[in-house]
Amino acid sequence: MTDEHLRATVSLRGVVFVDGAVLVVRRASDGGWELPGGRLAPREDVRDGVRREIREETGLAPTVEEPVHTVSWRNDADEGRLAVYFYGTGESRAVSLSDEHVEAAWERPGAAAERLSTPQGRAVERAATAYRRDSPDRVAASTDTGAGAPSAAENER
């Protein structure tokens, strides 16, 4: 047993599916792509926190299903970090971005994972497994018809 425990800021992110596509957002600060989310507030319920962060950053109100991936690390300033990634589903692709982001895109899971960091990409892969498990009819329809692909207008928002 170790006497030293990780003291960490907790980050919550959502892998949000609508019709087989995953939402990714581009940061205003450096142009990198990420999953929507942010930090857990003191005494805040975890699921409430991830819902709040997604709503604040995108205007969406997804159903938060289950955690699919976690990762801990120390940042460049040697501060502890813990990220928890949740799988969720939504009804609408109408995104209203906060000032933290400059672009949103709805991507098939494989394409979304390629845009993201390795831990976030892994979260997308695991969430896609949960989505296929929970939504076999919708997955088959979007695969057969292409209905899950984002339109050009949705990618430009």
Give the type of residue at 139: V
Task: Judge whether residue 148 has pLDDT over 70.
Answer: no
Report the distance separating Cα 82 and Cα 73, nearest Å: 7
How does pLDDT run across 81-102, given as a tens digit for each residue? 999 999 999 999 999 999 999 9
Predicted confidence (pLDDT) per residue in 32-59, tens digit: 999 999 999 999 999 999 999 999 999 9
| Average pLDDT rounded to a whole number, residues 141-147 | 41
